[in-house]
Amino acid sequence: MLFQVGRAVPTTPWELVLTSSRETKFVLAILVVFSIVSWYLIFLKWWQFRRMRRQADRFMAEIERATRLDDAYHAAMRLPASPYNRLLREGINFFSELKPGGLKDNGPAVATQTALTTTQLEALRMVLAKEVAAERDAAARFFPGSPRSARSARSSGCSGPCSA
């Protein structure tokens, strides 16, 4: 009975916050700030993934319309910049360096000469894997502590805080 003499017991959540200590209000304010930041990041990532899905749909529509790889390349390069056409460009550029004229019907390479060796295919895989990792890192921005960012920092020889 003697302990209840001080103040009235809060009956609503808002009264509970208003009658709480300064430290409790500070902790609640921090939680509100982090909640707002979290919802901002959730919305931002949703928007980025939606945009990336639209880019993928446009890219695939252009690629499917093309009859030759060279035509697909030119159609994809007319599209706005996206991870898909950057990856295609890297692959085509790598192939063109290995087999100049290999994509053209009237080029010097004939069908039997356009086949890549196992070593060249492995090098192509590594080039494309590097490009995919760069695109993933770009998509992971706003999340500096993500496992993907840590892996790429280790693979680039960065130890400790690294600037991008």
DSSP state of 129: H
The model's pLDDT over 75-117, given as tens digits with 9 standing for 90+, comes to 988 998 888 888 888 888 888 887 776 666 554 444 445 677 8
pLDDT at 108: 44
What contacts 74, CB < 8 A, 6 or more positions away? none
pLDDT at 121: 84
**Model confidence at 153: pLDDT above 50:** no
- Hey, what are 145's tokens? 């502590």
Alpha carbon separation from 107 to 66, 101, 113, 116 (Å, rounded): 19, 5, 11, 16
